[in-house]
């Protein structure tokens, strides 16, 4: 198949899948999601992503009506149906189908499970990426991977209109993360990344990067950093399961970073090796 969608057990090409209007995803964005890339039909870090969607669901009182093993089997089955060596694997759990009403005590029988798999392209790991900065106008549930993404959608649109690849959010001076990735800086050989609080999503790639730094003896500081610190950092990069690690060389039209390729390359190459070890070369 060219792509595939899943909704509560139904499977069809994405364009043919119909879902009930009363699914609370439609009215409230009332649900959580996760996503990863698959290379050679092997989804990267799938167990980590499945663990995270269960954590996200629990934080908004959704009891996923499927075991982790069943979810894994369902996703692997979908991935096996789609042609292509690099795929995007997306799935979400919403509170289910029920008459519109904000509170969810009577929100319908059971949560809905949605998924799709489609071909994707890897970003160039050796590229030089451009970003804009924007005030972070999101709420305080950024640690939950909710499908409520309007501020991220608006920010990504602004970045695209500016000819850029990502929007970096800050709350006042403090850099939080990007519209759909985490952002990290390297200064004097030390990797600095925002702590996992309610202002950022605990990225799976971020966690792998921290493990790589530990293994390679690169010191890590999980502390907030400012926009000024970022602009003056030796290297700046964003990370996500589909973008992997992307070196940022321009922010708001100003050239930045590019002063410690060695440390950045050590992290990037180790992550590429992990991907190859898990999924094979593409």
Across the strands, what pairs with 129?
A: 248
Would you state the structure tokens that stand for residue 260, as one six-digit string?
């410690």
Tell me: does residue 204 bind ligand PLP (CB under 6 A).
yes
- Contact yes or no for 242/205 (Cβ under 8 A): no
Beta carbon nearer to ligand PLP, 133 or 182: 182
Beta carbon nearer to ligand PLP, 28 or 169: 169
The torsion angles phi and psi of 231, rounded to 5 degrees, stand at -65, -25
Question: Where do we find the tokens 């990290």?
Answer: 184
SS (H, E, C) 57-106: HHHCCCCCCCCHHHHHHHHHHHHHHCCCCEEEEEEEEECCECCCCCCCCC
Tell me: does residue 56 bind ligand PLP (CB under 6 A).
no
Residues carrying an active site annotation: 33, 145, 177, 201
Residue from 241, 245, 250, 263 touching ligand PLP (CB under 6 A): that is 241
Q: How far is CA 24 from CA 143, 147, 150, 189, in A?
A: 21, 11, 16, 47
Contact pattern for ligand PLP over residues 13 through 52, marking x by CB under 6 A: ----------------------------------------
Tell me: does residue 205 bind ligand PLP (CB under 6 A).
yes
Number of residues that bind ligand PLP (CB under 6 A): 12
Beta carbon nearer to ligand PLP, 164 or 204: 204
Dist CA 58 CA 25 (whole Å)? 17
Contact pattern for ligand PLP over residues 141 through 180, marking x by CB under 6 A: ------------------------------------x--x
Residue from 50, 64, 159, 201 touching ligand PLP (CB under 6 A): that is 201
Closest distance to ligand PLP from the beta carbon of 275 (Å): 12
Beta carbon nearer to ligand PLP, 243 or 256: 243
Closest distance to ligand PLP from the beta carbon of 43 (Å): 12
Residue from 92, 112, 181, 193 touching ligand PLP (CB under 6 A): that is 181
Quote the longest CA-to-CA distance of the chain: 56
Q: What angle do CA 145, 151, 157 make, to 5 degrees?
A: 115
The torsion angles phi and psi of 150, rounded to 5 degrees, stand at -55, -50
Closest distance to ligand PLP from the beta carbon of 170 (Å): 14
Tell me: does residue 92 bind ligand PLP (CB under 6 A).
no
- Contact yes or no for 7/112 (Cβ under 8 A): yes
Tell me: does residue 182 bind ligand PLP (CB under 6 A).
yes
Closest distance to ligand PLP from the beta carbon of 101 (Å): 28
Would you state the structure tokens that stand for residue 236, as one six-digit string?
């700046």
Tell me: does residue 245 bind ligand PLP (CB under 6 A).
no
Beta carbon nearer to ligand PLP, 107 or 164: 164
Question: Where do we find the tokens 């139904």?
Answer: 10
Would you state the structure tokens that stand for residue 76, as one six-digit string?
């692997």
The torsion angles phi and psi of 239, rounded to 5 degrees, stand at -140, 145
> Which residues form the interface with ligand PLP (CB under 6 A)?
177, 180-182, 201, 203-206, 239-241
């Amino acid at each position: 198949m060219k792509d595939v969608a899943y909704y509560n057990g139904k499977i069809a090409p994405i364009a043919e899948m119909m879902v009930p209007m009363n699914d609370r995803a439609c009215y409230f964005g009332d649900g959580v999601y996760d996503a990863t890339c698959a290379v050679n039909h092997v989804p990267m870090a799938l167990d980590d992503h499945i663990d995270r969607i269960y954590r996200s669901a629990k934080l908004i009182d959704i009891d996923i009506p499927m075991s982790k093993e069943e979810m894994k089997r369902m996703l692997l089955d979908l991935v096996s149906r789609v042609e292509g060596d690099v795929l995007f694997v997306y799935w979400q759990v919403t509170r289910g189908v029920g008459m519109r009403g904000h509170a969810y005590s009577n929100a319908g029988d059971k949560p809905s499970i949605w998924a799709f798999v489609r071909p994707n392209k890897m970003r160039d790991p050796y590229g030089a990426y451009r970003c804009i900065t924007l005030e972070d106008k999101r709420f305080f549930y950024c640690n939950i991977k909710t499908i409520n993404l309007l501020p991220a959608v608006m920010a990504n649109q602004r970045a695209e209109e500016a000819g850029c690849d990502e929007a970096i959010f800050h709350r006042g001076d403090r850099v939080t993360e990007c519209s759909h990735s985490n952002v990290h800086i390297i200064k004097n050989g030390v990797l600095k990344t925002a702590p996992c609080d309610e202002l950022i999503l605990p990225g799976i790639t971020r966690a792998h990067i921290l493990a790589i730094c530990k293994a390679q003896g690169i010191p890590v500081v999980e502390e907030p950093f400012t926009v000024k610190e970022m602009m003056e950092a030796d290297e700046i990069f964003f990370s996500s399961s589909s973008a992997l690690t992307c070196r940022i060389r321009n922010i708001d039209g100003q050239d930045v970073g590019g002063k410690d390729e060695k440390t950045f390359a050590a992290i990037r190459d180790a992550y590429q090796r992990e991907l190859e070890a898990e999924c094979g070369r593409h």
